[in-house]
């Protein structure tokens, strides 16, 4: 199994507060991704990174920002959390490019915004 | 936004039944199609990556086929067992930088003993 961890695993916060979720991988993967999982939507891509300091937006990026200062760490920040951001967040990482870029997923972070 | 659809959304079968479900995806700009298995309270795990039209992959009792010209893939489970209960996700990998995957909504399979 790829070594991908997420922290925290559970968080409850209030509307308007900033929240940062952390993803850490030990596989030296170039690509890292943040998804959110909501009923009926499967997994939707928020942001992704293709290298240190190289990031780009995904399908549902509004209200989120990311940073990648080291290969192993990818941070997702909600600048001012809203109730619509209550979700389960999954981080994933993958090898460098190619059609066989299997993504390895972390255990998920359940975020509740009250 | 790419349209990746899975059907049915959920499926209840008896132990021993064979079953199949569908993933449809854009037929243009195809690069790869991924299948993931996602058990409750766990992380999605890769089952197959399929790249060529007519591809057929098999892992134990689970197999998958791919038709890139018409934009669909089938996942088959032969002789379903309770431990097959999970959500099965397909993900479309278009031919563009970033290797971003667009996931379908998943098919939730429940196998009754």
Cα–Cα distances (Å) from A65 to A48, A56, A79, B1, B47, in that order, read 10, 10, 8, 20, 31
Instruction: Say what the pLDDT of residue B104 is.
Output: 93
Q: Is the pLDDT reported for residue A96 higher than 80?
A: no
Rounded to whole angstroms, the Cα distance separating A69 from B90 reads: 31
Quickly state the pLDDT bin for A97 (edges 50, 70, 90): low
Local confidence pLDDT in tens for the 113 residues of chain B: 678 999 999 999 999 999 999 999 998 888 889 999 999 888 999 999 998 899 999 999 999 999 999 999 999 999 999 999 999 999 998 877 666 888 999 999 999 99
Give the residue from chain A lying closest to B9, CA to CA.
Answer: A40
Which residues in chain A are contacts of B31 at CB distance < 8 A?
99
Find how far residue A61's CA is from the centre of its chain: 11
Backbone angles phi, psi at B50, to 5 degrees: -125, 135
Rounded to whole angstroms, the Cα distance separating B39 from A50 reads: 28
Quickly state the pLDDT bin for A22 (edges 50, 70, 90): very high
E-strand stretches of chain A: 4-7, 10-13, 19-25, 31-38, 42-51, 54-57, 64-70, 73-78, 87-94, 103-105, 109-113
Q: What percent of chain A has pLDDT over 70?
A: 93
Q: Give me chain B's average pLDDT, please.
A: 92
Hey, are the CB atoms on A31 and B32 less than 8 Å from each other? no
Give the residue from chain B lying closest to A43, CA to CA.
Answer: B103
């Amino acid at each position: 199994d790829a070594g991908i961890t997420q922290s925290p695993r559970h968080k409850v916060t209030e509307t308007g507060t900033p929240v940062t979720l952390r993803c850490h991988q030990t596989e030296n993967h170039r690509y890292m991704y943040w998804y959110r999982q909501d009923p009926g939507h499967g997994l939707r891509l928020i942001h992704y990174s293709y290298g240190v300091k190289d990031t780009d937006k995904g399908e549902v990026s509004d209200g989120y920002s990311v940073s990648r200062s080291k290969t192993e760490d990818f941070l997702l920040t909600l600048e001012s959390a809203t109730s619509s951001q209550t979700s389960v967040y999954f981080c994933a990482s993958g090898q460098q490019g190619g059609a066989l870029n299997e993504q390895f997923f972390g255990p998920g972070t359940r975020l509740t915004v009250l | 936004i790419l349209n990746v659809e899975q059907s049915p959304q959920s499926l209840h079968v008896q132990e021993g039944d064979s079953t199949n479900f569908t993933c449809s995806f854009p037929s243009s700009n195809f690069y790869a199609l991924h299948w993931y298995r996602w058990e409750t309270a766990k992380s999605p795990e890769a089952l197959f990556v399929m790249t060529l039209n007519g591809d057929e992959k098999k892992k134990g009792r689970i197999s998958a086929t791919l038709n890139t010209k018409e934009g669909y893939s089938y996942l088959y489970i032969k002789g379903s067992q309770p431990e097959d209960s999970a959500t099965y996700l397909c993900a479309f990998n278009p031919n563009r930088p970033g290797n971003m995957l667009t996931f379908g909504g998943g098919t939730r399979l429940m196998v009754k003993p």
